[in-house]
Amino acid sequence: MPAPAVVKRSNNHLVPRPNEGVWPGLATPAHSAARARIAESLFRGAVKNLPVRVVFPGGERLGAGGPDSPVMRIVRPAAFFHRLGCNSKIGFGESYMVGDWTTTNLADLLTPFAAKLSTLIPPVLQRIGRRFAEARQPKEEVNTVEGSRENIHRHYDLSNDLFSIFLDETMSYSSAWFADGSDDLVDAQHRKIDGILDMAGVTEGKHVLEIGTGWGGLAVRAAQRGARVTTLTISAEQAVLAEERIEAAGLSDRVQVLLRDYREAQGSYDAVVSVEMIEAVGVAYWPTFFAALDRLLKPGGKVGLQAITMPHDRMLVSQNDYTWISKYIFPGGVIPSVAAVEQNLADHTGLRVAERRSLGPDYARTLAHWREHFLGRWEDVAALGFDETFRRMWEFYLAYCEAGFRVGYLDVHQFSLARR
Q: Could you give the CA distance from residue 185 to residue 175 in angstroms, rounded to a whole number?
A: 10
Cβ atoms of 214 and 238 closer than 8 Å: yes
Q: Could you give the CA distance from residue 296 to residue 291 in angstroms, rounded to a whole number?
A: 9
401 is annotated as an active-site residue: yes
Q: Could you give the CA distance from residue 22 to residue 222 in angstroms, rounded to a whole number?
A: 48
Q: Could you give the CA distance from residue 209 to residue 266 in angstroms, rounded to a whole number?
A: 10
Whole-angstrom CA distances from 304 to 194, 275, 289, 363, 364 are 11, 8, 14, 18, 22
Closest CA to 331 of 319, 340, 322, 341: 322
Q: What are phi and psi of 179, to 5 degrees?
A: -75, 155
Cβ atoms of 307 and 412 closer than 8 Å: yes
How many C-beta atoms lie closer than 10 Å to residue 299's C-beta?
Answer: 7
Cβ atoms of 382 and 375 closer than 8 Å: no
Query: CA gyration radius for the chain?
Result: 22
Q: Could you give the CA distance from residue 280 to residue 282 in angstroms, rounded to a whole number?
A: 6
How wide is the angle at C-alpha 315 spanned by C-alphas 311 and 316, nearest 5°?
120
Instruction: Give me the catalytic one of 277, 401, 403, 410.
Output: 401
Catalytic residues: 401
